[in-house]
Structure 1
């Protein structure tokens, strides 16, 4: 049952869930079609890397500007524009005749998806309060997570049924019907645009510095630098832009102007630690999914359809556990996230042990079991952690707060995809005999388990820092009248 007492609010949540499913399905469905796409387009390794990772790059860059624009000008028309551009760019990518066209279309599509998702998180925060907000965010995370987990099975079925040449194109078109439905529902059910930010002036310089820092941080992990000197230059660029952004934000506060990042976000340890937890968990999940797909197809020689069957239990478990996670949160509170992360660590280590020791015939079945556990772990950790993080975002900065959280996850995805896939490929090429890919998958799974262990430590530390305290920090010069109306909209369980 959907949260909320008002039918109109429930319809808003349905639109948000549809948007999450549409944008995340599009990214997840493509991984399994990479081999056929590479052959069909005659694309090189760099082209494929940009097709896959460019979507996340543009997605991450668009999140904070999209959230800020939504706070300033309202969310409905930005949402509709983003879905429309997403749909058109998806059609262009699916019908592209060369790698350049597909790369360009995927970049545009990723930016549109970022614009949409930054409105989604803020819309949920605007519409729901207390325990209902947690349930709504949980349903949104469940929808996106299930869509992401269903991507490989659906992609595998399309490639197997339609053939390699047409299969990858239909994978890119799979989200088009969802986008059309989302567009229609958004036009009918989303509330009229309403500005929530106190200051109507856009922090253009802050946005430019934030986007530049995001690009400078992500690009080296998508296209690896040719030398150590180039890597140092990229790192120096990140440091300079980050320092410039920090100084600019402080100057705006001293001048009495509203900064891009509200001081309540920058000074909130629970928000920062929760965002770090989300980064480690999301990066580990995305990297593990890609490495599993490559291992099953290239390492074990399974077909796209059998690879999809191994991945399917994760989608089922993710949906069930996400739907039930809020009940566990009511009983034990934030420890739900810790339990989910612990299960995820066990699943990753179980996959590593199976890759080392299991006989070839039993390995796909055992990996399907570990995927079941991994999906259950994601359902227990993703949406409860997201709810805990966003409760520290001020109402007038809901779009930026949600945008920063998702941008951090996209940065983590780019970094972890590059690092974990490099571990797998290096180990597979450096090992001799038939056990090479299996040992490589085991090493990569251990890296993913390590990332989840870091997330678990940060989550426990967040629990210590989030001891009973005042609901929100007070910043008199930046407060909005909405702060007085919703001074503390959390439920007793959340407190």
Structure 2
């Protein structure tokens, strides 16, 4: 015990580690890749009304345009993570980013909803391949304190991309007009993507395949892909009751088959897709559940806020962007100060952050239902400060906590499972809540009531995440490296 305390004290007393030049370059590439691929989805939220009018898109088209990206993103994550673990990460990163960037041109020039849907699916697949390499790369390159800082910066960059998307999209549409503006939101990917491609080719580490884990577990990959489809597809394209039951039954069967195959594959000397350490780790599972709730509720809340501000209150895209801007500012500031909060409150930082987000959603819905319309944008902007600060404080803390329990040899897959879980949550919440909002307003309900209903659901999801984020007594984990 005294030795352990001495080690902990020495660790606390050690000077703050700094990234060397090569490490800073790798971190820049990963942060740029994450920002480029994650900004794409959030910037589109503001452009949805303009896109809908321009392409004469139906609600089903809009659900596929928005949630189809998450579907393809989620499908690509675990295969991409496994391939990176086995074959090396650099060229999968480069090829995924090249696909994402080039298909952005197709999205920007689409004249039919079906073409845009197909392009969004390809963009999502490319983005999933990119992001599955980034967490593994950061875990490969950095250790200890530097790894936690690098993962935290990646998580915060993703959060800022989501928060900055609506203001950026609103500004572009305000300057260029609705018809050209929504197309330019896709073209924003080109300069970011091309610059990141050049940096990736020059600075990402050369592939170093793990020879001792040379098996890909093909059947495991196929089962995970089928399970992901069974979980996400009904929310992207809602079926009837018989369809819901069919998808639920298929998901249960696939989950059972995957669990059996992973145990069987390990017993026969193979290296299963899902590392046994992940399935036995309660902190990894609970942290992933918290991340799912945070990601899904925040993305859905951002989308319905944009719809309410433009369709319900009649704000211009720029006006809606200005209401959302405080969230980005607060998130950036809070994330920069998060380490101080963690020093004071430890893992409870995650719980407090989720509580703040739940309060922001709840209060936003109640105010939208009863506050006078002239004051409502200002009040909602103030609440965006609370929501952004709460997310900024807890996001990087939770991700670092989750991935701390992942073994080094499964770095790519563990990060991919975390992100895939978030994407499933995003597909479910975005599709379900946008559908609830649209159905309510097209069947005689008011925009205020529709927004109240959806924000109450977001607050409930965030409240459930408070329970999964509560610190639990666990044994000290063995360092993975």
TM-score class, shorter-chain normalisation, is over 0.9
TM-score by length of 1: 0.91
Following superposition, the deviation at residue 357 of structure 1 comes to: 2.6
2:92 is matched with: 78
Give the corresponding residue for 1:276: 289
CA pair 200-160 structure 1, distance change in 2 beyond 3 A: same
Q: Answer yes or no: is the 8 Å Cα contact 1:138–1:323 preserved in 2.
A: no
| Correspondences of 1:158-197 after superposition (within 5 Å) | 158-196=172-210
Report the equivalent of 2:3.
Answer: none
| 1:468 paired to 2:475 | yes
| 2:243 aligned partner | 230
Specify the alignment match of 1:131 in structure 2. Answer: 145
Q: Count residues in correspondence.
A: 466
* Offset from partner CA, 1:182-221 (integer Å, 9 cap, x none): 1111111111111247320111110011001101110100
User: Cα distance 1:234–1:110, how it changes in 2: closer, same or farther (>3 A)?
Assistant: same
Contact 2:97 2:127 in 1 (8 A): yes
| Cα distance in 1, alignment partners of residues 307 and 348 from structure 2 | 34
Quick check: 2:230–2:251 contact (8 Å CA) kept in 1?
yes
Distance in 2 (CA, whole Å) between partners of 1:418 and 1:168 is 20
Aligned equivalent of 1:440, options 450, 469, 475: 450
**Displacement after TM superposition at 1:442 (Å):** 1.6
Contact 2:294 2:462 (8 Å CA) reproduced: yes
RMSD across aligned positions (CA)? 1.5
Return the offset for 1:69: 0.2
Offset at 1:55?
0.6
Once residues 342 and 359 of structure 1 are traced to their aligned partners in structure 2, the CA distance between those partners, rounded to angstroms, is 27
Greater shift after overlay, 277-286 or 3-12?
3-12
Please tell me whether the aligned partners of residues 19 and 146 of structure 2 are also in contact (alpha carbons under 8 angstroms).
Answer: no
Q: How far off is 1:38 after superposition? A: 1.7
The reply on whether 1:122 has 2:136 as its aligned counterpart is yes
Corresponding residue of 1:267: 280
Provide the rounded CA distance (Å) in 2 between the counterparts of 1:377 and 1:191.
35
* Aligned position for 2:410: 397
Equivalent of 2:463, from 453, 472, 488?
453
**Distance across 1 between alignment mates of 2:59 and 2:440:** 18
Check 1:41–1:425 CA distance in 2 against 1; reply closer, same or farther (3 A cut).
closer
Equivalent position SS for 1:29: helix
Give 3-state SS (helix, strand or coil) of 1:258's partner: coil
Q: 1:14-163 counterparts in 2 under 5 A?
A: 14-163=28-177
The alignment status of 1:287 with 2:300, answered yes or no, reads yes
Q: Hey, what's the Cα distance between the residues in 1 that align with 2:124 and 2:209?
A: 25
Partner of 1:363: 376
List runs of 5+ in structure 1 lacking aligned partners: 473-482, 487-495
Between 239-248 and 326-335, the greater mean CA deviation after superposition: 326-335
Q: Is the 8 A contact 1:4 1:10 kept in 2?
A: no
Aligned counterparts of 1:97 and 1:255: Cα–Cα separation in 2:
52
The 1:157/1:235 distance shift into structure 2, 3 A limit, reads same
CA distance in 2, matches of 1:323, 1:115: 28
Question: 1:97: Cα distance to partner?
Answer: 2.4
CA distance in 1, matches of 2:195, 2:344: 37
Shift of 1:427: 4.2
Moved over 6 A (4+): none
User: Which of 21, 44, 65 in structure 2 is aligned with 1:7?
Assistant: 21
Deviations 1:212-237 (Å, cap 9, x if unpaired)?
11011101001110x21111111111
Superposed, 1:316-327 pairs within 5 Å as: 316-327=329-340
* 2:212 aligned counterpart, secondary structure: coil
**Match of residue 476 from structure 1:** none
Gaps of 5+ in 2: 1-15
Kindly indicate whether the alpha-carbon contact (under 8 Å) linking 2:215 and 2:270 is maintained by their aligned counterparts in 1. Answer: no
Higher deviation after alignment, 202-211 or 138-147? 138-147
Give 1:431 deviation, angstroms: 5.9
Does the 8 A contact of 1:138 with 1:326 survive in 2? no
**Equivalent in the alignment of 1:418:** 431
Please say if residues 63 and 431 of structure 2, whose CA atoms lie closer than 8 Å, have aligned partners that are also in contact: no
Give the equivalent residue in structure 2 for 1:491.
none
CA contact 2:287–2:402 (8 Å) conserved in 1: yes
Give the stretch that moved more between structures: 110-119 or 120-129: 120-129
Q: Cα distance 1:270–1:229, how it changes in 2: closer, same or farther (>3 A)?
A: same
What do residues 83-114 of structure 1 show as CA deviations (whole Å, max 9, x unaligned)?
11111111111112222221111111100000
SS in 1 for 2:138: helix
* Deviation (angstroms), 1:356: 2.4
The alpha-carbon deviation at position 426 of structure 1 amounts to 4.4
Could you tell me how far apart the structure 1 residues matched to 2:73 and 2:438 are? 26
Q: 1:298 aligns with which of 302, 306, 311?
A: 311
